[in-house]
Amino acid sequence: MSAANFIDQIRIECRSGKGGAGSRHLRREKYVPKGGPDGGDGGRGGHVILEGDEQLWTLLHLRYTKHVIAEDGEGGGSNQRSGRMGTDRIIKVPLGTVARDADTGELLCEVTAHGQREVLLEGGRGGLGNQHFHSSTFQTPRFAQPGEPGREQWFILELKVLADVGLVGHPNAGKSTLLSVVSAAKPKIADYPFTTLVPNLGIVHYRDGRSFVMADIPGIIEGAHEGKGIGLRFLRHIERNSLLLFMVAADSPDVKAEYKVLLNELAQYSPELLDKERILAITKSDLLDDELKAALRKEMPPGVDHVFISAVAGHGLDRLKDLIWAKLHAPQAASRETEVG
């Protein structure tokens, strides 16, 4: 998906419908001159609702939708007839969408399942008809309740990509190349930084027909949590990943230091990201001989599993998939000290 078509944040104004007024009708028939009140209740106003749709991958379809207005409820009628409820306005969003108050930034809800519905704004309640107010001492009430007004509010909708594995690395670490090799995804690949401008998703097929979803996130540079580069905009996509695959190129001057820079950026953005399972992949390992690999192994950061891979040469990819699958489905059985590669 091109950068122009990937929209992961929008600002939208929503207004729920106002409730219909209750009826003040008094029953009048030929032989019932004083039939009493029979005004029906007003219908409630329409809600504004978010609904998850697994067929959507972006908020592009809402790019030019600035106002969402639900229908008002109808007023009550005679003979105790209730007014029709206002039609709800349903906003379909991709899975992983969160809604925030545009003024306060407060998290209001998140949609993570297909068909899940979350009410953003409730419609106003319909007013009670005059039939509810008569009594033995007050038999002809000539008033009814008005409907409640609808609510109006600005929201920010943010998309956080749902994936099992998130690729984390500096620009040109080989993330897009890996995704293109292990899945059918076709991310843009070139020999210059920030080739990837939007997240790319790919389904990685494993053994016996099993699979998992991998997400390629735009490259992160030091200071990304402060807005440097383009990492800040996309760091939130990592929050939903079950496992983080850190990728450092074999020709890096200091693999351990580069890994710590990446880890620090995630910690500065959200300390909770450090609780996720992690794997370190040394990419472009076809440039290394056995002696250099042995030297690099001694410099690996402690407490994180590592694997030497080369997406171009196909080296180490099966081992990487095995380790990812073990972490995703049997994390308690995967030792943090295990060396793979």
pLDDT tens digits, 306-337: 899 988 888 889 999 999 998 888 644 444 44
Rounded CA-CA distance 240/78 in Å is: 54
The band of 44, judged by pLDDT with boundaries at 50, 70 and 90, is very high
Please report the domains of the chain, with CATH numbers, ordered by start residue.
1-159 (2.70.210.12), 165-333 (3.40.50.300)
Q: What is the distance between the alpha carbons of residues 174 and 168, in angstroms, rounded to a whole number?
A: 10
Q: What is the DSSP string of 166-233?
A: EEEE-TTSSHHHHHHHHSS------SSTT---S-EEEEEE-GGG-EEEEEEPPP--TTGGGT-TTHHH
Report the alpha-carbon angle 146-152-154, nearest 5: 175
Give me the percent of the chain exceeding a pLDDT of 90. 34
- Tell me the pTM: 0.67
